[in-house]
Structure 1
């Protein structure tokens, strides 16, 4: 699935170490929980993108759904540990992850080369929906938050204004991001 995005907008963000960053994008907000807030382990040295991302690749974690910081924090720590210890990644593989309640969690963040789609990381951003979407449908809150995150990325210059949106399965022999999420990609931007 491929989709182009054109977006303009303004972004204003405010954050503290105890609260999620709240970004105001065209009268909408997206909460971004920082690495510090979810207790991420410090990454090993990683590579920065050479420019703004040209593609966004959508994934699912293929785990149980999580809602709220406490529940999602445990999953994030488990995913990061698996990626670093078992797969030998420098950090959690995704740039951002989104919970079922629409809260966005910072993975590697903007401008960092991910480890989410082998051979396709140097010009892309990886966003994982937390849950298993082979049979479950992504929540409207999660879809809305990812749309707002994408607008924010374009507005800040981290994402090309005309980026290509793909499901992981478009680039690899995998069922990811699950049939239900893959069929919902048209509702992203």
Structure 2
């Protein structure tokens, strides 16, 4: 029995290593509420939409968890969304936090939510871009999504401002993502 458990754990480690997937902090770990409704999307998605949360950033898991709870409460209680609106969030601690996950969406507009994932960077990146390790882990998440088949290999990456009237993902972050694989200014 111990050998079987060891082999299964080894396989999980090898699969994640081969896909170069970052560790993802689960919804339950950061304290997410259950969604009001689940809206699934067809994968693999063709688009990745980059956002920023326009909140203070967070520098450790405890701080980030509190920030995400506040964002989820705002989205659900004030904006009347079904859940937090991002597929994943990237904290200032260079960790990925699960939002609605790979195959669910509601981050931009109904038309775009059905064919994209939204990655929200926790903070306001109008003036200064996130630190290098934060940007690197976000790119690692994208590569992981491609490797596991949830993001199309020929994906297009957009800033939220390309799809609706918003400043998101902030001028500094928008400038940064223009050098990322798949970036396009408009769909």
Q: More strand per residue: 1 or 2? A: 1
User: How far off its partner does 1:122 sit?
Assistant: 0.5
1:93 alignment partner in structure 2: 85
Correspondent of 1:115 among 92, 103, 106: 106
User: How far off its partner does 1:51 sit?
Assistant: 2.6
Structure 2 unaligned regions, length at least 5: 1-10, 182-187
Q: Deviations over 1:120-179 (max 9, x none)?
A: 110000000011001122111111111110011011111000000000001111111100
User: How far off its partner does 1:13 sit?
Assistant: 5.0
Are the structure 2 counterparts of residues 29 and 125 from structure 1 closer, same or farther at C-alpha, using a change threshold of 3 Å?
closer
Which deviates more, 28-37 or 70-79? 28-37
Are the structure 2 counterparts of residues 54 and 77 from structure 1 closer, same or farther at C-alpha, using a change threshold of 3 Å?
same
2:8 alignment partner in structure 1: none
Paired positions, count: 169
Which protein has the larger Cα radius of gyration, Structure 1 or Structure 2?
A: 2
Alpha-carbon distance in 2 for matches of 1:39, 1:115: 19
Alpha-carbon distance in 2 for matches of 1:38, 1:23: 21
Are the structure 2 counterparts of residues 92 and 127 from structure 1 closer, same or farther at C-alpha, using a change threshold of 3 Å?
same
User: How far off its partner does 1:23 sit?
Assistant: 4.1
1:79 alignment partner in structure 2: 71
Q: Is the 8 A contact 2:21 2:141 kept in 1?
A: no
Q: What is the RMSD of the two structures over their aligned residues, measured on CA atoms?
A: 1.7
Q: Tell me if 1:148 matches 2:160.
A: no
TM-score w.r.t. length of structure 1: 0.84
1:3 alignment partner in structure 2: none
Alpha-carbon distance in 2 for matches of 1:67, 1:146: 16
Are the structure 2 counterparts of residues 72 and 13 from structure 1 closer, same or farther at C-alpha, using a change threshold of 3 Å?
farther
Secondary structure at the aligned position of 1:131 is classed as coil
2:171 alignment partner in structure 1: 179
Alpha-carbon distance in 1 for matches of 2:17, 2:25: 15
Structure 1 unaligned regions, length at least 5: 1-11, 15-21
Alpha-carbon distance in 2 for matches of 1:95, 1:187: 22
Q: More helix per residue: 1 or 2? A: 2
Alignment of 1:1-16 (within 5 A): none
